[in-house]
Amino acid sequence: MKKKLLALLLGLTLCLSLAACGGSTDDTAADDTADTSGDDAAETVTLTVAASPTPHAVILEQCVPILAEQGIDLVINEYSDYVVPNTAVEDGDEDANYFQHIPYLEEFNETRGTHLVDVASVHIEPMGVYAGKTASLEELADGAVIAIPNDATNEGRALLLLEAQGLITLDDSSNLTATPNNIVDNPKNLEFQELEAATIPSVLADVDLAVINSNYALGAGLNPTTDALAIESSDSPYVNVLVVKEGNEDNEAVQALVEALHSDAIRDFITEEFDGAVVPAF
């Protein structure tokens, strides 16, 4: 009887031991599976870029399949203002941004204490003067109201464009940050509404003229080359650039995007899609 009981106990112990070994084997297999899936996920790199909807995001969309071939998932986040895209890159919420020109970037760094650098020049968007209640520059009446952007560099840029049309004279025509306070001659006693750049198309019907950045003009259904009463020359210094936080210039995914943006395919797309309203700068 004792021998039978001992044999039974030994058999039960052996079963428990085998069950334990089997559980260990399953756990190992599960761990191996998890590790493998982790390795697969690591093969794809995500690059997030903040951009204005038009033309920046439109241009970036053309880069998505180009980067996908290199294992880079380009995620484009659209913004309608000129501040958050920069602070988002500075804070690390976005890897890069594409919406601004160099004078604006330099002024932003200086006034906000950010550490942003441009890594690629992509295109120029000529700023234009558009008709509101007044149909032409020649018909502009005394005391007419003109809407202009209120951010430092674009306001100066708008005033320089109006000066080039002979409507005003500034105290320093090289001052890219001029404001209405820098006007020394205003023969038509023009009044200026200083507004956020993105909102200017929406008030076009309420002012005599408006000076609008091309990305916002395009977004409002205006074609700078056909609808503007006056437009900047093609040698404008306001080249739109791809921007990252200082120290990230050599990031492989960023450099892959630079290469894509500077490709013949993107040059041809910009030329054909925007018909002169956006001009390649590479």
pLDDT band of residue 237 (cuts 50, 70, 90) is confident
Q: What residues have CB less than 8 Å from 68, skipping those under 6 apart?
A: 74
pLDDT at residue 151 above 50?
yes
Residue 30 in this model has a pLDDT that exceeds 80: no
**What is the per-residue pLDDT for 152?**
83
Q: Provide the token pair at 248.
A: 């990230």
pLDDT above 70 (res 94): yes
Partners of 244 in the β-ladder = 117
Report in angstroms the alpha-carbon separations of 157 from 183, 228, 252. 13, 16, 35
Q: How far apart are CA 86 and CA 115, in angstroms?
A: 10
Summarize the confidence of residues 129-153 as an average pLDDT. 96
Mean pLDDT over each residue of the chain, to the nearest integer:
87
CATH of 45-125+238-280, one of 3.40.50.300, 1.10.490.10, 3.40.190.10, 3.40.50.10320: 3.40.190.10
Give every CB contact of residue 23 below 8 A, 6+ residues apart in sequence. Answer: none
Cβ partners under 8 Å of residue 51, min gap 6: 57, 60, 76, 77, 78, 79, 85, 97, 98, 99
- Average pLDDT, stretch 57-83? 97
Query: Is residue 24's pLDDT more than 90?
Result: no
Residue 272 has pLDDT above 70, yes or no: yes
For residue 13, the model assigns a pLDDT of: 42
Question: Has residue 227 got a pLDDT over 70?
Answer: yes
Nearest CA to 153 out of 113, 107, 197, 188 is that of: 107
Residue showing tokens 């450099």: 255
Residue 18's pLDDT band (cuts 50, 70, 90) = very low
Q: Does domain 128-231 have CATH number 3.40.190.10?
A: yes
Integer Cα distance of 34 and 137 in angstroms: 68
Cβ proximity of 22 and 28 under 8 Å: no
SS3 231: strand
Report the candidate in 266, 212, 99, 144 with the shortest Cα–Cα distance to residue 274: 266
Comparing 45-125+238-280 with 128-231, is the CATH topology the same? yes
Cβ atoms within 10 Å, residue 28: 10
Quote the pTM value: 0.72
Q: What is the mean pLDDT of residues 9-17?
A: 41
pLDDT value at residue 160 = 94
Confidence of residue 234 (pLDDT cuts 50, 70, 90): low
Which positions ≥6 away from 206 have C-beta within 8 Å? 132, 133
CA 93 to mean position of chain CA atoms: 13
What pLDDT does residue 91 have? 98
CA dist 107 → 32, 103, 115, 127 (Å): 53, 6, 12, 19
Average pLDDT on 249-259 reads 98
Average pLDDT over residues 88-111: 96
Structure tokens at 259: 């290469």
Annotated domain spans of the chain: 45-125+238-280, 128-231
Among candidate residues 193, 222, 195, 221, the one with its CA nearest the CA of residue 207: 193
- The arithmetic mean of pLDDT across residues 176-187, rounded, is 96
CB 120 within 8 A of CB 248: no
- Tell me the mean pLDDT in the region 159-163: 96
**In the prediction, which pLDDT does 161 show?**
96
pLDDT at 194: 98
246: pLDDT strictly greater than 90: yes
36, pLDDT greater than 70: no
